[in-house]
Amino acid sequence: MSVSDADMVRAWTHVLTLSKLKPGDTVTLLTSANTHPQTLQTARIAAGMMGAVVNRLDLAPMNAEHAHSRDSLAYLGTTPLTGNRAAIAALKESDIVLDLMTLLFSPEQAEILESGTRILLAVEPPEVLVRLLPSLEDKARVAAAAALMADAREMTVTSAAGTDLRLPLGEFPAIQEYGFVDEPGRWDHWPSGFGLTFPNERKAEGRVVLERGDILLPMKSYVTDRVEMTVEKGYVTSITGGIDADLLNDYMEVFADPEAYAVSHVGWGLQKRARWSTLGLYDREGTIGMDARAFAGNFLFSMGPNNEGGGSRTTACHIDIPMRNCTVRLDGREVVRAGQLLEQEETV
Ligand X SMILES: O=c1ccc(O)c[nH]1
Minimum gap (Å) between residue 346 Cβ and ligand X: 26
Site for ligand X in 125-144 (CB under 6 A): none
Using CB under 6 A, which of 25, 138, 177, 211 touches ligand X?
Answer: 177
Using CB under 6 A, which of 44, 189, 313, 329 touches ligand X?
Answer: 189
Q: Return all residues near 3 (Cβ < 8 A) that are at least 6 apart.
A: 11, 38, 126, 127, 129, 130
| CB neighbourhood size of 74 (10 A) | 21
- Residues 148 and 146: their CA atoms lie apart, in Å, by 5
Angle at 24 between CA 22 and CA 27, to 5 degrees: 80
Using CB under 6 A, which of 192, 197, 298, 307 touches ligand X?
Answer: 192
Give the phi and the psi of residue 238 in degrees, each rounded to 5: -155, 145
Using CB under 6 A, which of 15, 46, 73, 209 touches ligand X?
Answer: 73
Cβ-closest residue to ligand X?
A: 189
Minimum gap (Å) between residue 302 Cβ and ligand X: 6
- Residues 163 and 76: their CA atoms lie apart, in Å, by 28
Query: In Å, how far are 19, 120, 136, 184, 283 from 178, measured between CA atoms?
Result: 11, 11, 9, 15, 25
Minimum gap (Å) between residue 114 Cβ and ligand X: 19
Size of the site for ligand X (CB under 6 A): 8
Q: Write a three-state SS string for 167-182.
A: EECCCCCCEEECCCCC
- Judged by beta carbon, residue 21 or residue 132, the one nearer ligand X is 132
106 binds ligand X per the rule CB under 6 A: no
Binding mask 287-316 for ligand X (x = CB under 6 A): ------x--------x--------------
- Judged by beta carbon, residue 26 or residue 314, the one nearer ligand X is 314
Of 93, 91, 86, 95, the C-alpha closest to 103 is: 91
Minimum gap (Å) between residue 138 Cβ and ligand X: 13
- Residues 46 and 69: their CA atoms lie apart, in Å, by 32
Q: Would you tell me which residues interact with ligand X (CB under 6 A)?
A: 73, 177, 189, 192, 293, 302, 318, 320
